[in-house]
Structure 1
Amino acid sequence: MERTITLYTNPYSRGGIAHWMLEEIGVPYRVEYLQYGTSMKAPDYLAINPMGKVPAIRHGEVVVTEAAAICAYLADAFPEAGLAPPPAERGDYYRWLLFVAGPLEAALGLKACQVEMSADQEMQLGCGRLETVLDVLADAVRGRHYIAGERFSAADVYVGSHLGWGMQFGTIDRRPEFERYWQALEQRPAQRRSMAQIEAAMAEYPLPGAEA
């Protein structure tokens, strides 16, 4: 029996990553939009994600949270979509999925909170400095269409989303390597479909205080 996929998200969230991934795998799914501070913290949703954050997906009885985990799970659950390399070729795939989920996310968060690290703190924290993280990521995408081999994969959905949004909102430098990598990804039909749905949802579900 086919298991229904439900995406729990908010149009102003990292849920857009999971939304794009669902469009790439090309199977039916439903979207449940949640609001910050209300339905996202309601008991029904906290039973799905006790953190009270999005995105999350329910696939039958399986619940997956965290955008990187959702991308990896869907790639494995729907192998016919070809969004994960063969197991023996997944070194770069896992590396860059988790590099962006770990060091990049942490470094961006520290910068957003205006945390200035000492040299000792840089050594203690796995992310190090944001500039170093971005240097490493720029080297990874330089001259490449895809980050984990010769084919598009779930890692590109995740890495590309962070670079695209980061450059759009000014949290990531518009380096030539990042712009070239993202320009090809943002033209993918699945990405454009997901963005059209997200933009429509933004009008229906505005951020609190932005209704006027």
Structure 2
Amino acid sequence: MAKIVLHHVPESRSQRVLWLLHELGADFDVRVWPFDKTLRSDDFLALNPAGRVPALEMDGRSYWETGAIIEILCERFGHLGRMPGDAERADWLIWVHFSETISQHAAALTQSHVMLREDWMRSPVVMKLEAARVGKCFDAIEARLSGDWLLSEFSAADVAVGQAVVMARRFHRVGDRPKMAAWVARFEARSAFAASNDGAGLYGQDFYEVPDA
């Protein structure tokens, strides 16, 4: 069987797939791409027609979209998911896909703070709104947590949401959310999380203040 290949940009959404592969103990290779126009090349578009990471080569084909990849990998390896019929299946799906809600707000803020290099290109009002929306997502996590993990045990939902939080906390601090702060500390202590943090990528600083409107 051919080895799995993850196509990856550090500090992007593909980080959650990299983390999950480490958690699953998969045998895989990583091809790192720069965050530039090469993602629009014919070679990459053959892997992901949207020109975005991640793309995952497995079984002689390419898979894309992080939520779909997470479901496919958990089914393939038989753990960290919740299969149909499991009492936690619906909640697992909700939280795996909620990660994309968080990521979308983080992506909008990344675009404004990092990619739009001139002040006149940015909207402070939009940036404040997006940062506040990240805060609402953090509130949802805080309200959810009653134990160590989002479900009864650690799962790919913690991977998906955790990686989204790692991106989003560059724009909104975890702050006075003690259950969320403890959850973040727990997942950051995992060896697979450490293994997936493979160097600098999109961000040049730890936190980006929202400018005055």
Range into which the TM-score falls when normalised by the shorter chain: 0.7 to 0.9
Q: What percent identity do the matched residue pairs reach?
A: 26
1:1-40 deviations in Å (ceiling 9; x for gaps): x242110011232221111111111121111111122432
Contact 1:68–1:97, Cα closer than 8 Å, also in 2:
yes
- Does 1:163 pair with 2:165? yes
TM-score between both structures, scaled by the size of structure 2: 0.75
Q: Which TM-score applies when normalising by structure 1?
A: 0.76
Give the aligned partner of residue 148 of structure 2.
145
Which of 177, 186, 189 in structure 1 is aligned with 2:188?
Answer: 186
User: Number of aligned pairs?
Assistant: 185
Distance in 2 (CA, whole Å) between partners of 1:110 and 1:38 is 19
Deviations 1:74-126 (A, max 9, x none): 111111xx211242221110011112213x334445566542899xxxxxxxx
Secondary structure in structure 2 of the residue aligned to 1:35: coil
- What is the alpha-carbon distance in structure 1 between the residues aligned to residue 8 and residue 166 of structure 2? 19
Give the 3 Å change call, closer, same or farther, for CA 54–180 of structure 1 in structure 2.
Answer: same
- Equivalent residue, structure 2, for 1:115: 126
Distance 1:14 1:172, change over 3 A: farther
Following the alignment from structure 1 to structure 2, what is the Cα–Cα distance between the partners of residues 164 and 151? 20
- Measured against aligned partners, the alpha-carbon deviations of 1:28-80 in whole angstroms (never above 9, x if no partner) come to 1111111122432211111111221111111122322122222222111111x
Deviation at 1:194, TM superposition (A): 1.8
Q: Quick one: distance in 2 between partners of 1:100 and 1:193? A: 20
Q: Report if aligned partners of 1:163, 1:178 keep a CA contact under 8 Å in 2.
A: no
Measure, in 2, the Cα distance between the counterparts of 1:43 and 1:111: 28
Q: Give the corresponding residue for 1:16.
A: 15
Alignment partner of 1:36: what SS?
coil
Q: Which runs of 5+ in 1 are unaligned?
A: 119-127
Residue 96 of structure 1 is matched in structure 2 by: 95
Question: Where do 1:33-182 residues align within 5 Å?
Answer: 33-79=32-78, 82-88=79-85, 89=87, 90-102=89-101, 104-109=102-107, 114-115=125-126, 129-141=133-145, 143-148=146-151, 150-167=152-169, 169-174=170-175, 175-182=177-184
